[in-house]
């Protein structure tokens, strides 16, 4: 903030209200920082010695984790536990389980590199249960977890492989390992992650049929976010869209850049640990780039927006996963329009086999979608084989990324005086902060 003050002090014509606006902005900024530090410190102070617990709860999440299978259980004692069990033991979302073992607090490490405890804390898990004993004692009634499980089973039993994998990802946020490896090779992993692409696509479809029914768009928006697992990237996108819808209701203009900033600040106020969630950082970085590079009607900006997103998100991906495929620049230019068409079409046609029966006659409804997806896989594999180069972290210098985004933010908000400079510098500082937590 002192840097912002120096920049503005050196401007030939400081905007009206320079000093009071700067003071208010500084106080708000300081309040947010102090609140976040307090929340993080409070979490660290809650670390207690291991305690023996025995309680009941509902399995709300399960996924493979190395040679284990991880369960997240919302227990009756008000805590959310992480339990690692053998992958051979059958547990499903919505199961009511009796659990016992030693309850241990997570020890957070904010240094560079992946930290498992920090990962699970960003998912809302309170404790890890060691030496666990888990027994299924029933199944929950009508609940979100049970509904997700039933829909997942329907998709698994009713659809052919490619269609099933994409709709599991788009509807429930469940990733098929085979598709995940393929999209990592193509540089299009974001297609399988619930983000602004999926959320925005759904709201656009609802708005097409009910343009003025903002209340209906809002209900569908949040129902979808909850059904898909309420991943932080989806919540960020939903908050952005909700701010835009509210602005439309009250008759106020809305800018994408403003909604990105509002959504990010609100989410970090709710849970400061989300800053260390890779999905959150990728989502915000992509949204910032789209809002400042792709905004306006200048033709050359439209052409470079997807390569710009590839470059700015490549900073995070290369440092987290070792590299980014060059082929992703080309593939993404075609992936966005292709999946904007195929996901709604596949979702509509999949209703028939999912609702009216399993594999058999109804499966023929989605065979055209399966065929188109197979063609897409062949095309993406061809491009990836022609451009098999993967670039590492050194290809994405953070200072250049920060300055690039800062420049576009400033140009996008040109004429706003103090606000444009403050916003651009704050965004650049946010990008620079990301660098401090990456390996």
Strand partners, 127: 81, 105
Torsions phi, psi for 437 (to 5 deg):
-110, 5
Torsions phi, psi for 371 (to 5 deg):
-65, -45
Give which of 120, 3, 100, 117 is closest to 54, Cα–Cα. Answer: 100
Q: From the centroid of its chain, how far is CA 293?
A: 20
CA distance 51 to 104: 7
Structure tokens given for 406: 């800062």
Let me know: does 405 contact 315? Beta carbons within 8 Å.
no
> 355-373 b/e with 16+ CB inside 10 Å = b?
eeeeeeebbebbeebbebb
CA distance 184 to 321: 10
Give which of 314, 247, 259 is closest to 291, Cα–Cα. Answer: 259
Confidence (pLDDT) at 249: 81
Confidence (pLDDT) at 338: 95
3-state DSSP assignment of residue 157 = helix
Q: Helix-strand-coil percent breakdown of the chain, rounded to 5?
A: 65, 15, 25
Q: Please report, in angstroms and rounded to a whole number, the separation of the first and last CA atoms in the chain.
A: 26
Q: Could you list the mean pLDDT of each consecutive 10-residue stretch along the chain, which spans 439 residues?
A: 45 58 68 68 62 89 84 89 87 88 77 71 85 85 80 87 92 89 90 88 88 87 89 88 84 75 81 82 84 65 75 79 86 92 92 73 81 95 90 68 60 50 56 52
Torsions phi, psi for 111 (to 5 deg):
-75, 175
Strand partners, 104: 128
Confidence (pLDDT) at 123: 82
pTM of the model: 0.79
- Number of CB atoms found within 10 A of residue 338's CB: 18
CA distance 70 to 91: 10
Count of positions (residues) in the chain: 439
Let me know: does 234 contact 267? Beta carbons within 8 Å.
no
- For every residue of 210-258, DSSP letters joined together read -TT-HHHHHHHHHHHHHHTT--HHHHHHHHHHHHHHHHHHHT----HHH
CA distance 255 to 76: 43
Confidence (pLDDT) at 8: 47
Helix 418-435 vs helix 2-9: angle between axes, to the nearest 10 degrees?
140
Give which of 25, 31, 37, 32 is closest to 1, Cα–Cα. Answer: 25
Confidence (pLDDT) at 331: 92
Confidence (pLDDT) at 6: 42
- 51-65 and 127-139: which strand pairing? unpaired
Structure tokens given for 192: 């399988």
Helix 398-412 vs helix 418-435: angle between axes, to the nearest 10 degrees?
160
CA distance 169 to 87: 21
- 51-65 and 68-75: which strand pairing? antiparallel
Q: From the centroid of its chain, how far is CA 225?
A: 11
């Amino acid at each position: 903030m002192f840097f912002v003050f120096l920049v503005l002090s050196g401007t030939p014509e400081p905007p009206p209200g320079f000093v009071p606006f700067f003071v208010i902005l500084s106080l708000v900024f300081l309040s947010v920082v102090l609140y976040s530090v307090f929340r993080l410190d409070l979490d660290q102070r809650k670390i207690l010695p291991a305690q023996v617990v025995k309680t009941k709860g509902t399995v709300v999440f399960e996924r493979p984790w190395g040679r284990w299978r991880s369960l997240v259980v919302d227990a009756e004692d008000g805590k959310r536990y992480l339990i690692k069990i053998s992958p051979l033991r059958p547990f499903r979302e919505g199961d009511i389980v009796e659990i016992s073992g030693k309850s241990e607090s997570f020890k957070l490490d904010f240094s560079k590199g992946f930290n498992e405890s920090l990962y699970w804390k960003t998912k809302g898990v309170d404790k890890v249960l060691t030496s666990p004993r888990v027994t299924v004692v029933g199944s929950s009634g009508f609940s979100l977890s049970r509904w997700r499980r039933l829909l997942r089973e329907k998709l698994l039993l009713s659809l052919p492989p490619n269609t099933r994998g994409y709709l599991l990802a788009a509807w429930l946020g469940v990733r098929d390992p085979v598709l995940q490896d393929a999209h990592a090779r193509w540089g299009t992993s974001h297609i399988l992650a619930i983000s602004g692409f999926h959320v925005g696509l759904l709201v656009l479809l609802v708005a097409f049929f009910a343009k003025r029914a903002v209340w209906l768009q809002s209900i569908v928006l949040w129902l979808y976010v909850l059904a898909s697992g309420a991943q932080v990237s989806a919540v960020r996108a939903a908050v952005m869209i909700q701010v835009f819808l509210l602005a439309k209701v009250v008759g106020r203009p809305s800018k994408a850049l403003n909604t990105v900033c509002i959504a990010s600040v609100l989410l970090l106020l709710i849970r400061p640990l989300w800053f260390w969630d890779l999905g959150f950082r990728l989502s915000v970085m992509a949204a910032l780039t789209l809002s400042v590079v792709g905004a306006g009607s200048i033709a050359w900006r439209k052409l470079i927006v997807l390569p710009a997103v590839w470059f700015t998100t490549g900073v995070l991906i290369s440092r987290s996963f070792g590299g980014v495929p060059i082929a992703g620049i080309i593939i993404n230019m075609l992936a966005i329009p292709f999946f904007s068409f195929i996901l709604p079409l596949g979702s509509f046609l999949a209703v028939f086999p999912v609702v009216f029966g399993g594999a058999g006659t109804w499966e023929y409804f989605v065979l055209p979608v399966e065929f188109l997806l197979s063609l897409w896989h062949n095309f993406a594999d061809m491009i990836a084989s022609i451009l098999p180069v993967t670039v590492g972290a050194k290809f994405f210098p953070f200072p250049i990324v920060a300055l690039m985004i800062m420049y576009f933010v400033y140009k996008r908000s040109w004429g706003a005086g103090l606000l444009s400079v403050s916003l651009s510098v704050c965004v650049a500082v946010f990008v620079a902060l990301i660098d401090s937590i990456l390996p």
